Chain A
């Protein structure tokens, strides 16, 4: 026998899983700190890659100057400068990503709590069936 109420509940669950819930459920597998840390780590990798690419572009841009003046460079100063900029950039991006991803995580909890509530309702259908059967 088809149980209409049950189908309705399952449809609701499936809709959520298919749309907004896709990401939420993935995030639900992490603790908050773990999630934020993982995303922070991804940000670090990406910012590093981006920074290196920018450096490559600058070096290419100044190639002529660099080749002709290579001997006279104060490499320690340049290194400090590059590193300092890197740290500053990183600080900005890490702070941003921690704030942003924490907010995102909190938001996903709201949808998830409703989802679990509906899941509970579904499991109550099964219990009813058991009692009847």
Chain B
């Protein structure tokens, strides 16, 4: 454990120093992976598949917010589908629009989940998404996850439809359309996947909110167990038993990845260096705000020869870190509220 803590502290220092560059590089590689996967899975249009275009798109998404990456990926996918069949691309656009209007606009911050689910499905580890969302988000995350699963199955169906697509008369177009809708609406695997993913999110969420030691790690285990059980039942009932092996392996890998992310997340998320700019009458200020970290691993070189105590010390320390980060300072807002109200009123007058 100690070596991990030291490693974590080292990584944290490194990250604090080069945060801007690391972010850009990581985003660039994620974007490139996303575009490559889209290109290999539904890469019908050779023009979009060119490496130069992939590089330009990845570079663009490296410097822009993650929403742009989602948008670009959607456009690339639609572009590929448009190349083989216009009617299929219309279906995709319609379904994405319906999803956005009815569901996705309520969870704008989780938009990337819709992209991540299909991508990770192709990498065989989609189960990490509900585990992480259960750990770090609210059950509302079920909505974008479900949309992502629908998109994954939609693209699977489109691949099939593309392979059997015959040339275009109006009747064939309609048939193609009914085929896609039929197989999407009658897809029991899709429904089961949505239900099971929702269950995983709920199980993970509720277990991690319980108050006992290692609640988060146990939540991951519980979620993974729910995942394996759920997909076992659904696979056996729907008679698709050839997937079971890869499903179990994928779940285990997902759970391990989730634990690793959990371990580093507290550090990375809360120690980001912030850059702000502001001015007053006399100066411009360019401030780099570095958060203070109270407990650093390398400082814990307390030597004890009683192992039990040692273990207790470690537990206590990690407990302290989490407590410090997790308990926000709870001030009494009541008295300020009245004052602030006055401020708010004053502001409103100015605005109006």
Mark A residues whose CB is within 8 Å of B. Answer: 2, 6-7, 10-11, 13-15, 18-19, 28-29, 31, 46-47, 49-50, 53-54, 56-57, 60-61, 63-64, 93, 96-97, 100, 109-110, 112-114, 116-117, 119-120
Contact = CB atoms under 8 A, between A and B. Distances in A.
B255 to A, nearest CB: 31
Contact of A53 (B94, B274, B289): B94
A50 B101 CA distance: 5
18 contacts: A6-B280, A11-B285, A11-B287, A15-B276, A29-B348, A29-B351, A47-B101, A47-B102, A54-B98, A61-B177, A61-B181, A96-B106, A100-B106, A113-B337, A114-B333, A116-B339, A117-B340, A120-B339
A50 B278 contact: no
Given A46-B101, A110-B333, A117-B336, A28 B344 contact: yes
A129 B281 CA distance: 12
Interface residues of B, number: 33
A50 B98 contact: yes
A49 B101 contact: yes
Given A47-B101, A61-B177, A116-B344, 20 more contacts: A7-B285, A10-B285, A11-B276, A11-B285, A14-B278, A15-B274, A28-B347, A29-B347, A46-B100, A46-B105, A50-B98, A57-B91, A61-B181, A109-B337, A112-B340, A113-B337, A116-B336, A116-B343, A117-B339, A120-B339
B336 A18 contact: no
B336 A2 contact: no
Contacts of B213: none
Interface in B255-301: 274, 276-278, 280, 283, 285, 287, 289
A56 B94 contact: yes
Contacts of B102: 46-47, 50, 93
Given A18-B274, A116-B336, A2 B348 contact: no
Contacts of A112: 340, 344
Contacts of A109: 337
3 tightest CB-CB pairs across the interface, nearest first?
A50-B101, A14-B276, A116-B340
Nearest to B178: A61
Given A10-B278, A15-B274, A113 B336 contact: yes
- Mostly, the A contact residues are helix
Contacts of B336: 113-114, 116-117
Contacts of B177: 60-61
A50 to B, nearest CB: 3
Given A60-B177, A63-B174, A119-B343, A10 B280 contact: yes
A56 B289 CA distance: 53
B332 to A, nearest CB: 10
Nearest to B343: A116
Interface of B: 91, 94, 97-98, 100-102, 105-106, 174, 177-178, 181, 274, 276-278, 280, 283, 285, 287, 289, 331, 333, 336-337, 339-340, 343-344, 347-348, 351
Contacts of B91: 57
Kindly name the residue among B94, B101, B283 whose own CB sees the greatest number of chain A CB atoms within 10 A: B101
A120 B278 CA distance: 17
Nearest to B170: A63
A13 B174 CA distance: 58
Nearest to A1: B282
Contacts of A50: 97-98, 100-102
B232 to A, nearest CB: 34
Contacts of A7: 285, 287
Nearest to B101: A50
B287 A14 contact: yes
B41 to A, nearest CB: 24
Contacts of A56: 94
A64 to B, nearest CB: 7
Kindly name the residue among A56, A113, A114 whose own CB sees the greatest number of chain B CB atoms within 10 A: A113
A48 to B, nearest CB: 8
A122 B283 CA distance: 16
A48 B63 CA distance: 35
Contacts of B351: 29
A46 B106 CA distance: 11
Given A10-B278, A50-B98, A57 B340 contact: no
